[in-house]
Amino acid sequence: MEDRIPEGATKRVFSLWPGTAPPERPELTALPAWVRNSEGRPRRSFVLGPAESVLVAAAVVAVAGMMTTTPGAPWIARAWWLVLIALLVAAAVALHVRHRSARDEAAWRDALFERSGISLWREDWTPVGDAILALKKAGVHDIQAHFAARPADARALRRQVMVKDVNAFTVEMMGAQSKADFIGSLDRILPDSDQTFDQWLIAFGRGDAFYRSETHIVRPDGTHLDCLFTAALPNSLEGFRDILVTALDITDYKALQARLVSAQTEAARASRITTVGALTASIAHEVNTPVASILANVQAALRWLRRPEPNLSEAEQALDRAVADASRTTQVVGRTRDFLSASPPTVQPLDMAETARIAAILIDRELRLHDTSIHLDAASDLPPVMADPIQMQQVLVNLMINAVQAMRYQPVPRDVRVLVREAGGAVQVSVTDGGPGVDPAVRPRLFEPFASSRKDGMGMGLAICRTSVEAMGGRIWLDDGPSPGATFHVSLPAAQPDQATSAS
């Protein structure tokens, strides 16, 4: 039985993507636009190309020649003429079919590019292919380390990548006037806070067949658009001339994710506030009772001592009771401290390179806000460390945010370099910025609570980082190098084989 839709109602097509409310449209009985646009369309005409026309003309001439030269001729002569005419006609038909097939294929490719419901970009990456090839020939095979140490070279290459064409959907998605807004250097649409261009270079260097990444691009009006990019990478140097990139707008999806995370965070915060409130009331109750008793006993002892004839025995008993109450107060405070103190970290084998990568992703918003780019250089085959994943992630996030904020008043470009290496049986992560450096007066107490080199800093971040790192058997320190810039190091001992095995 066919579903009935109430008159005037609109049937909604379900979609998993946010922001896809059905647009206003005419009555359901109205013909869709693609039907209306098909009415009155002229049928395809049979048009011959130049070469086909020559062959057909030659066949006509051959027919005329046969009729004028073969009256009364033997049938063999007539047969040769017929064979010639048939060959000419067959060649003309074959050529026409081939040309028509080529035209249809070209028209189909054009239709796929222009009428696809997804953003398509044709880009020329030839300078990048040449640069990667030159590095490989020069013996440079760690493309990640090379460009992490030379961000200016990566930016120069980015400026040389050219957008050759975009489809109509791209113009609409980007809110542009025409394709001309995009034709030219890729540098026009990739902000300096983009973290993906280096990953393109690494993928080319590895010879990957496919690339996919999430990034943000700049619209013509200056706003940012979150996109998921995919591309089939070339299998020859010539293929770098024409790389087809697809882009999917995920801005609404990301915004929805952010709202969900914000709601979860707010709920957790409300829960913590409630817990802290209840705990505070409990502590106040537990502490107030012995403190009030201490006060009463001390006051009683004073009264016994201030009598015309002091009663030392009663005063001594009152002071003994005060001491007992003070001891009880100490026990209450100790139990509370034990309850609130951080439990031992849940350690497990941890890949520090992957942890650093996740931390860099988590600070994407901070990078955009301060127009800063981050460059991660991690050695291959790093041993795991025994650490708490969440605590180490927070430590690296804290160090990276500090590096970004240290450069907020510096001129662009602003680069943060994160280096992950094995050193002396440990895995060391170094975070380097190009800021003004750390005030020498603050350096000796930088990792103490309430010590900060920023005017608006609380001075708790590095203190918490040190507590977390040292609880896992590691250490954290600041390079004594000269300004400008600062380098913070975190070192954790590499996991022993038996530790990694038992933990797994």
User: Per residue in 22-38, pLDDT tens?
Assistant: 444 444 344 444 434 54
Burial letters 457-480, b for 16+ CB under 10 A, else e: eebebbbbbbebbeebebebebee
What pLDDT is attached to residue 277? 65
The encoded tokens of residue 40 equal: 């009155």
Would you say residue 7 has pLDDT above 50? Answer: no
> What does the alpha-carbon distance between residue 59 and residue 288 come to, in Å, rounded to a whole number?
116
> What does the alpha-carbon distance between residue 4 and residue 16 come to, in Å, rounded to a whole number?
24
Q: How many residues are there in the chain?
A: 504
| 239 or 257, greater pLDDT | 239
Judge contact between 244 and 109, C-beta under 8 A. Answer: no
Q: State mean pLDDT over 287-302.
A: 80
3-state secondary structure 187-219: HHCCCCCCCCHHHHHHHHHHCCCEEEEEEEEEC
For residue 357, the cross-strand partners are none
Q: Using pLDDT thresholds of 50, 70 and 90, give the confidence band for residue 491.
A: very high
Q: Label residue 165 exposed, middle or buried (CB < 10 Å: 0-12, 13-18, 19+).
A: middle
* Rg, the chain, Cα only: 38
Q: Using pLDDT thresholds of 50, 70 and 90, give the confidence band for residue 20.
A: very low
- Helix 197-206 and helix 151-160, axial crossing angle in degrees, nearest 10: 90
Q: State mean pLDDT over 341-349.
A: 68
Would you say residue 431 has pLDDT above 90? Answer: yes
What amino acid occupies position 466?
Answer: R
Neighbours of 198 (CB within 10 A): 23
Is 373 strand, coil or helix?
strand
Is 489 strand, coil or helix?
strand
Strands 119-124 and 243-249: antiparallel
Q: State mean pLDDT over 253-269.
A: 72
Q: Which helix (H) or strand (E) holds 412?
A: none
> What does the alpha-carbon distance between residue 84 and residue 63 come to, in Å, rounded to a whole number?
9
**Cα dist. 155→99, 184, 192, 201, 250 in Å?**
44, 15, 9, 11, 25
Task: Give residue 151's region: left, alpha or beta (phi > 0; psi -120 to 50).
Answer: alpha
Sheet strands side by side (includes 475-478): 372-378, 414-423, 426-433, 486-493, 475-478
Q: Which helix (H) or strand (E) holds 95?
A: helix 75-115
Share of the chain above pLDDT 70, in %: 66
Judge contact between 427 and 385, C-beta under 8 A. Answer: yes
Q: State mean pLDDT over 291-313.
A: 84
Neighbours of 127 (CB within 10 A): 16
Q: For all residues of the chain together, what is the average pLDDT?
A: 76
Would you say residue 67 has pLDDT above 80? Answer: no
Judge contact between 499 and 349, C-beta under 8 A. Answer: yes
Is 142 strand, coil or helix?
coil
Q: Using pLDDT thresholds of 50, 70 and 90, give the confidence band for residue 99.
A: low
The encoded tokens of residue 85 equal: 């005419």
Judge contact between 372 and 416, C-beta under 8 A. Answer: yes
Q: Using pLDDT thresholds of 50, 70 and 90, give the confidence band for residue 18.
A: very low
What pLDDT is attached to residue 12? 35
**Longest CA pairwise span in the chain (Å):** 167
Share of the chain above pLDDT 90, in %: 17
What pLDDT is attached to residue 313? 85
Q: Label residue 349 exposed, middle or buried (CB < 10 Å: 0-12, 13-18, 19+).
A: middle
Return the minimum-mean-pLDDT range out of 106-115, 231-240, 256-265: 106-115
Strands 162-166 and 184-185: antiparallel
Q: Using pLDDT thresholds of 50, 70 and 90, give the confidence band for residue 501.
A: low
What pLDDT is attached to residue 8? 44
Q: Which helix (H) or strand (E) holds 376?
A: strand 372-378
What pLDDT is attached to residue 361? 82
| 436 or 280, greater pLDDT | 436
> What does the alpha-carbon distance between residue 418 and residue 149 come to, in Å, rounded to a whole number?
10
Q: State mean pLDDT over 468-491.
A: 85
What pLDDT is attached to residue 213? 86
Q: Tell me the CA end-to-end span of the chain in Å, nearest whole number.
A: 57
